[in-house]
Protein backbone atom coordinates (compact mmCIF):
# COMPACT_ATOMS: atom_id res chain seq x y z
CA UNK A 1 0.00 0.00 0.00
CA UNK A 2 1.34 3.42 -0.99
CA UNK A 3 0.54 6.16 1.49
CA UNK A 4 0.27 9.87 0.69
CA UNK A 5 -0.93 12.64 2.92
CA UNK A 6 -1.08 16.20 4.15
CA UNK A 7 0.65 17.84 7.11
CA UNK A 8 -0.42 21.11 8.67
CA UNK A 9 -2.32 22.34 11.71
CA UNK A 10 -5.23 22.46 12.02
CA UNK A 11 -6.52 20.45 9.06
CA UNK A 12 -10.28 20.82 9.48
CA UNK A 13 -10.37 22.92 6.30
CA UNK A 14 -8.41 20.46 4.16
CA UNK A 15 -9.50 19.83 0.59
CA UNK A 16 -6.77 17.32 -0.28
CA UNK A 17 -8.03 14.14 1.38
CA UNK A 18 -11.39 14.26 -0.38
CA UNK A 19 -9.81 15.24 -3.68
CA UNK A 20 -7.42 12.29 -3.73
CA UNK A 21 -10.04 9.79 -2.51
CA UNK A 22 -12.26 10.84 -5.42
CA UNK A 23 -9.32 10.79 -7.86
CA UNK A 24 -8.25 7.28 -6.82
CA UNK A 25 -11.84 6.03 -7.19
CA UNK A 26 -12.52 7.79 -10.50
CA UNK A 27 -9.26 6.72 -12.13
CA UNK A 28 -9.20 3.19 -10.71
CA UNK A 29 -5.95 3.83 -8.82
CA UNK A 30 -5.48 0.95 -6.39
CA UNK A 31 -3.19 0.25 -3.43
CA UNK A 32 -3.01 3.97 -2.64
CA UNK A 33 -4.45 5.97 0.26
CA UNK A 34 -4.26 9.67 1.11
CA UNK A 35 -4.69 10.77 4.71
CA UNK A 36 -4.53 13.92 6.80
CA UNK A 37 -1.79 14.15 9.43
CA UNK A 38 -2.43 17.15 11.70
CA UNK A 39 0.76 17.75 13.68
CA UNK A 40 0.67 20.56 16.28
CA UNK A 41 4.38 21.36 15.77
CA UNK A 42 6.77 20.76 12.88
CA UNK A 43 9.26 19.01 15.16
CA UNK A 44 6.76 16.13 15.28
CA UNK A 45 7.45 15.38 11.61
CA UNK A 46 10.30 12.85 12.20
CA UNK A 47 8.07 10.81 14.53
CA UNK A 48 5.29 10.84 11.92
CA UNK A 49 7.68 9.61 9.24
CA UNK A 50 8.85 6.83 11.54
CA UNK A 51 5.23 5.78 12.12
CA UNK A 52 4.42 5.85 8.39
CA UNK A 53 7.19 3.89 6.60
CA UNK A 54 4.99 3.48 3.49
CA UNK A 55 4.82 7.23 2.85
CA UNK A 56 5.53 8.11 -0.78
CA UNK A 57 4.63 11.79 -0.68
CA UNK A 58 3.27 14.59 1.48
CA UNK A 59 1.58 17.88 0.82
CA UNK A 60 2.38 20.69 3.25
CA UNK A 61 -0.04 23.42 4.27
CA UNK A 62 -0.34 26.24 6.83
CA UNK A 63 1.71 26.89 8.91
CA UNK A 64 4.61 24.66 7.80
CA UNK A 65 5.48 25.61 4.20
CA UNK A 66 8.63 27.43 5.27
CA UNK A 67 9.65 25.76 8.55
CA UNK A 68 9.55 22.27 6.99
CA UNK A 69 12.62 23.03 4.87
CA UNK A 70 15.31 22.13 7.48
CA UNK A 71 13.76 18.64 7.69
CA UNK A 72 14.34 17.97 3.97
CA UNK A 73 17.38 16.60 2.15
CA UNK A 74 16.97 18.49 -1.10
CA UNK A 75 14.87 21.21 -2.75
CA UNK A 76 13.81 21.72 -6.34
CA UNK A 77 15.24 24.89 -7.95
CA UNK A 78 11.84 26.62 -7.73
CA UNK A 79 11.35 25.70 -4.05
CA UNK A 80 14.89 26.92 -3.36
CA UNK A 81 14.05 30.28 -4.90
CA UNK A 82 10.68 30.58 -3.14
CA UNK A 83 11.94 29.28 0.22
CA UNK A 84 8.57 27.55 0.56
CA UNK A 85 7.55 23.91 0.10
CA UNK A 86 4.09 22.41 -0.26
CA UNK A 87 5.02 19.01 -1.72
CA UNK A 88 7.52 16.41 -0.49
CA UNK A 89 8.61 13.38 -2.52
CA UNK A 90 10.19 10.45 -0.66
CA UNK A 91 12.59 8.87 -3.12
CA UNK A 92 15.54 6.54 -2.53
CA UNK A 93 15.55 7.39 1.15
CA UNK A 94 15.65 11.14 0.51
CA UNK A 95 13.08 13.80 1.25
CA UNK A 96 12.83 16.21 -1.70
CA UNK A 97 10.83 19.45 -1.44
CA UNK A 98 8.87 21.03 -4.28
CA UNK A 99 6.40 23.88 -4.67
CA UNK A 100 3.33 23.06 -6.74
CA UNK A 101 1.42 26.10 -5.44
CA UNK A 102 3.28 28.15 -8.03
CA UNK A 103 2.29 25.74 -10.82
CA UNK A 104 -1.37 25.78 -9.80
CA UNK A 105 -1.48 29.55 -9.34
CA UNK A 106 0.12 30.32 -12.69
CA UNK A 107 -2.05 27.91 -14.67
CA UNK A 108 -5.23 29.32 -13.13
CA UNK A 109 -4.23 33.00 -13.32
CA UNK A 110 -2.87 33.27 -16.85
CA UNK A 111 -6.19 32.88 -18.73
CA UNK A 112 -7.62 35.85 -16.80
CA UNK A 113 -4.81 38.33 -17.41
CA UNK A 114 -5.43 41.36 -19.60
CA UNK A 115 -2.71 43.75 -20.82
CA UNK A 116 -3.68 46.32 -18.17
CA UNK A 117 -3.10 43.82 -15.35
CA UNK A 118 0.54 44.89 -15.37
CA UNK A 119 1.06 45.74 -11.70
CA UNK A 120 0.01 43.72 -8.67
CA UNK A 121 -0.62 43.96 -4.95
CA UNK A 122 0.08 40.81 -2.91
CA UNK A 123 -1.81 40.83 0.37
CA UNK A 124 0.19 38.89 2.98
CA UNK A 125 3.80 37.72 3.24
CA UNK A 126 3.59 34.04 4.29
CA UNK A 127 4.52 30.84 2.48
CA UNK A 128 1.68 31.13 -0.03
CA UNK A 129 2.79 34.66 -0.91
CA UNK A 130 6.22 33.29 -1.88
CA UNK A 131 4.65 31.17 -4.63
CA UNK A 132 2.66 34.17 -5.89
CA UNK A 133 5.79 36.33 -5.95
CA UNK A 134 7.65 33.65 -7.90
CA UNK A 135 4.88 33.46 -10.52
CA UNK A 136 4.53 37.23 -10.93
CA UNK A 137 8.28 37.57 -11.35
CA UNK A 138 8.25 34.86 -14.04
CA UNK A 139 5.39 36.72 -15.78
CA UNK A 140 7.31 40.03 -15.48
CA UNK A 141 4.51 41.65 -13.47
CA UNK A 142 5.92 44.03 -10.84
CA UNK A 143 4.23 43.90 -7.43
CA UNK A 144 4.04 45.43 -3.99
CA UNK A 145 3.74 43.33 -0.84
CA UNK A 146 1.06 44.58 1.56
CA UNK A 147 1.18 43.76 5.26
CA UNK A 148 -0.32 45.08 8.48
CA UNK A 149 2.89 46.96 9.20
CA UNK A 150 5.16 48.66 6.69
CA UNK A 151 8.77 47.46 6.47
CA UNK A 152 11.70 47.67 4.08
CA UNK A 153 9.95 45.15 1.81
CA UNK A 154 6.27 45.89 2.40
CA UNK A 155 3.74 48.69 2.48
CA UNK A 156 0.91 48.79 5.00
CA UNK A 157 -2.81 48.67 4.23
CA UNK A 158 -3.02 52.32 5.34
CA UNK A 159 -0.60 53.27 2.56
CA UNK A 160 -2.90 52.03 -0.21
CA UNK A 161 -3.75 55.40 -1.72
CA UNK A 162 -5.79 56.29 -4.80
CA UNK A 163 -2.83 56.20 -7.19
CA UNK A 164 -1.63 52.81 -5.95
CA UNK A 165 -5.10 51.28 -6.23
CA UNK A 166 -5.63 52.71 -9.72
CA UNK A 167 -2.28 51.50 -11.08
CA UNK A 168 -2.21 48.07 -9.39
CA UNK A 169 -5.15 46.35 -11.03
CA UNK A 170 -4.23 42.78 -10.03
CA UNK A 171 -4.81 42.12 -6.31
CA UNK A 172 -4.06 38.71 -4.77
CA UNK A 173 -5.09 37.73 -1.25
CA UNK A 174 -2.69 35.19 0.26
CA UNK A 175 -3.87 35.73 3.85
CA UNK A 176 -6.40 33.44 5.60
CA UNK A 177 -8.73 36.41 6.20
CA UNK A 178 -12.25 35.41 5.19
CA UNK A 179 -11.67 31.66 5.31
CA UNK A 180 -14.42 29.52 6.84
CA UNK A 181 -15.62 29.84 9.57
CA UNK A 182 -14.56 33.51 9.83
CA UNK A 183 -16.34 34.38 6.61
CA UNK A 184 -17.02 38.05 7.36
CA UNK A 185 -13.32 38.96 7.66
CA UNK A 186 -11.50 40.58 4.75
CA UNK A 187 -8.19 42.37 4.10
CA UNK A 188 -8.45 46.08 4.86
CA UNK A 189 -8.03 47.51 1.37
CA UNK A 190 -10.02 50.53 0.12
CA UNK A 191 -12.69 48.58 -1.73
CA UNK A 192 -14.45 51.77 -2.86
CA UNK A 193 -11.53 52.39 -5.23
CA UNK A 194 -11.95 49.13 -7.14
CA UNK A 195 -13.20 49.24 -10.73
CA UNK A 196 -14.07 46.89 -13.56
CA UNK A 197 -10.39 47.03 -14.55
CA UNK A 198 -9.38 45.18 -11.39
CA UNK A 199 -8.82 41.44 -11.09
CA UNK A 200 -9.15 40.07 -7.56
CA UNK A 201 -7.72 36.62 -6.88
CA UNK A 202 -8.23 34.93 -3.51
CA UNK A 203 -6.23 31.81 -2.63
CA UNK A 204 -9.07 30.85 -0.28
CA UNK A 205 -11.62 28.39 -1.71
CA UNK A 206 -14.00 28.01 1.26
CA UNK A 207 -16.28 29.92 1.00
CA UNK A 208 -16.32 30.03 -2.79
CA UNK A 209 -16.94 33.78 -2.70
CA UNK A 210 -15.13 35.43 0.19
CA UNK A 211 -16.02 38.89 1.47
CA UNK A 212 -12.87 40.13 -0.35
CA UNK A 213 -14.14 38.75 -3.65
CA UNK A 214 -17.73 39.85 -3.10
CA UNK A 215 -16.65 43.43 -2.43
CA UNK A 216 -14.67 43.33 -5.67
CA UNK A 217 -17.59 41.90 -7.64
CA UNK A 218 -19.83 44.63 -6.26
CA UNK A 219 -17.51 47.16 -7.91
CA UNK A 220 -17.44 45.31 -11.23
CA UNK A 221 -14.06 43.62 -10.75
CA UNK A 222 -13.23 40.19 -12.18
CA UNK A 223 -12.92 37.66 -9.35
CA UNK A 224 -11.34 34.21 -8.95
CA UNK A 225 -11.07 31.93 -5.93
CA UNK A 226 -8.41 29.35 -5.14
CA UNK A 227 -10.34 26.18 -5.99
CA UNK A 228 -8.88 25.63 -9.46
CA UNK A 229 -5.39 26.43 -8.16
CA UNK A 230 -5.85 23.74 -5.50
CA UNK A 231 -6.86 21.13 -8.06
CA UNK A 232 -3.96 22.04 -10.34
CA UNK A 233 -1.39 21.98 -7.52
CA UNK A 234 -2.73 18.63 -6.30
CA UNK A 235 -2.44 17.14 -9.80
CA UNK A 236 1.09 18.55 -10.08
CA UNK A 237 1.95 16.88 -6.73
CA UNK A 238 0.67 13.55 -8.04
CA UNK A 239 2.85 13.94 -11.15
CA UNK A 240 5.91 14.57 -8.96
CA UNK A 241 5.23 11.60 -6.67
CA UNK A 242 4.90 9.29 -9.66
CA UNK A 243 7.80 10.48 -11.77
CA UNK A 244 10.46 7.91 -12.53
User: Is residue 115 within 8 Å of 140, Cβ to Cβ?
Assistant: no
125 forms beta bridges with none
Residue 3 belongs to what H/E stretch?
strand 2-8
3-state SS, residue 119: coil
65 classed as catalytic? yes
User: Which letter, b or e, does each residue of 112-137 get, where b requires 16 or more Cβ atoms within 10 Å of its Cβ?
Assistant: eeeeebebbbbbbbebbbbbbbbbbe
Exposure string of 212-241, with b = 16+ CB inside 10 Å and e = fewer, is bbebbeeeebbbbbbbbbbbbbbbbbbebb
Q: Per the residue annotation, which of 65, 95, 130, 215 is the catalytic one?
A: 65
Residues with active-site annotation: 65
Amino acid sequence: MKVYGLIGYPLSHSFSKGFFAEKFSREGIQECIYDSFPIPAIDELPALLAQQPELQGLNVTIPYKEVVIPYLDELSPAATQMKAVNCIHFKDGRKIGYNTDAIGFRRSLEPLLKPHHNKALILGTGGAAKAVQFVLESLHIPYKLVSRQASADTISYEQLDTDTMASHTLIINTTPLGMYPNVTAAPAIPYDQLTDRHLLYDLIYNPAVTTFLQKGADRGATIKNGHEMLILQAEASWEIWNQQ
